[in-house]
């Protein structure tokens, strides 16, 4: 922590927001700088308006050039397709901290990561895996169209919001702070492959390459078409070139078992019912 107090001190200086409580933190990798930036999340309310907010606080000071890059990045982020990420509604510099406010993209009043939810279930059903993969592919594609280069998506990055949508928070922030805004074909392939790896893990409960068995042997609900999709997507020499190519090759794109658009991840409904059943007041 630097010498400008703590993020809690911002409660008295960001006049438009009331801080409620601190949520989980996460780290944003800066590939050129060779280090990570710690980002704190705060549940907040916006004075004079309805709905919870997320206030992100970067836990290190930025120099003038980095702040300029951040401004450009936030402008690009606001141009992404609605629902693909935590869209910035305000940002500023207070007490040495850079803060970014957005609508709340957590679950309930907490943050729910996709990996945590998948591990609660051991493996996810094919339609749930399909939905999560499609939403992440759409997000990276939308980011690329807005001029944002995210890079590979790590297993613990995506979160699940109240409606069951998989969200990638502040995509490309680390690369933007390093001035790495160029989107090239190799980076796109790496992004897509990382999403395939993430999809494999939530589908079978193991990292890709850890078991010699086909995915359909590890999760009996998966069909042979999923084996072929993962085989191609994980192959470094013939993997998918773009999000669109990966999406069109999904089993749901070539069968009648397509996921209903807008339905969200169905496992959230089951999770909510389980929480009610286990409640002492239920």
Question: Per-residue pLDDT averaged across 59-86, rounded?
Answer: 89
Query: Tell me, what's the pLDDT at 268?
Result: 55
What distances in angstroms separate CA 191 from CA 127, 149, 196, 233, one per listed residue? 22, 9, 9, 11
Of the candidates 182, 161, 191, the one whose C-alpha atom is nearest the C-alpha of residue 83 is: 161
195 pLDDT above the threshold of 70: yes
Tokens of 244: 């669109």
For the cut 90, the answer to whether the pLDDT of residue 279 exceeds it is no
The C-alpha R_g of the chain, in whole angstroms, comes to 20
Q: What is the pLDDT of residues 234-271, one digit of tens each?
A: 998 889 999 999 999 999 886 544 333 334 455 554 55
Q: pTM, whole model, 2 decimals?
A: 0.85
Q: How far is CA 279 from CA 107, 275, 276, in A?
A: 17, 6, 5
Q: What pLDDT shows up at residue 280?
A: 35
Q: What is the pLDDT of residue 166?
A: 95
**134 pairs with which residues across the strands?**
none
58 SS3 class: strand
Q: Is pLDDT above 60 for 273?
A: no
Per the CB < 8 A criterion, the answer to whether 69 and 179 are in contact is yes
Reference 129, options 197, 190, 210; nearest CA is: 197
**pLDDT score of 272 more than 90:** no
Measured CA to CA, the distance from residue 193 to residue 210 in angstroms comes to 16
Structure confidence by residue, pLDDT tens digits, 159-186: 999 888 999 999 999 999 999 988 889 9
- Reading phi first (left if > 0) and then psi (alpha if -120 to 50, else beta), residue 15 is in alpha
Check if the beta carbon of residue 177 is closer than 8 Å to that of residue 37. yes
pLDDT, residue 77, reads 93
Residue 196, pLDDT above cutoff 80: yes
pLDDT at 146: 92
Spatial separation of the C-alpha atoms in residues 180 and 172, rounded to whole Å:
9
What percent of the chain is predicted at pLDDT more than 70?
84
Q: How confident is the model at residue 51 (pLDDT cuts 50, 70, 90)?
A: confident
pLDDT averaged over every residue in the chain: 85
For residue 220 the two structure tokens come to 């009996």
* DSSP reduced 3-state for 160: strand
């Amino acid at each position: 922590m630097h010498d400008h107090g703590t993020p809690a001190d911002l409660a008295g200086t960001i006049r438009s927001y009331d801080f409620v409580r601190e949520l989980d933190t996460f780290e944003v990798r800066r590939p050129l700088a060779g280090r990570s930036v710690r980002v704190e999340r705060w549940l907040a309310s916006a004075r004079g308006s309805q709905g919870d907010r997320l206030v992100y606080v970067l836990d290190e000071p930025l120099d003038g050039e980095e702040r300029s890059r951040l401004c450009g990045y936030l402008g690009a982020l606001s141009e992404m397709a609605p629902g693909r990420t935590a869209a910035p509604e305000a940002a500023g510099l207070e007490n040495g901290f850079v803060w970014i406010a957005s609508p709340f993209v957590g679950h309930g009043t907490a943050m729910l990561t996709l990996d945590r939810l998948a591990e609660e279930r051991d493996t996810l059903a094919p339609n749930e895996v399909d939905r999560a993969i499609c939403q992440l592919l759409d997000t990276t594609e939308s980011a690329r169209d807005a001029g944002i280069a995210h890079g590979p998506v790590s297993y613990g990055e995506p979160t699940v919001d109240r409606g069951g949508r998989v969200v990638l928070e502040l995509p490309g922030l680390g690369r933007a702070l390093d001035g790495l805004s160029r989107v090239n074909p190799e980076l796109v392939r790496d992004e897509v492959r990382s999403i395939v790896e993430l999809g494999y893990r939530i589908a079978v409960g193991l990292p890709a390459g850890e078991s010699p068995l086909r995915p359909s042997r590890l999760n009996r609900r998966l069909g042979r078409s999923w084996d072929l999709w993962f085989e191609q997507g994980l192959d470094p020499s013939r993997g998918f070139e773009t999000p669109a190519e990966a999406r069109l090759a999904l089993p749901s794109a070539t069968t009648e078992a397509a996921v209903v658009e807008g339905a969200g991840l169905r496992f959230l409904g089951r999770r909510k019912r389980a929480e009610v059943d286990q409640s002492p007041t239920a």
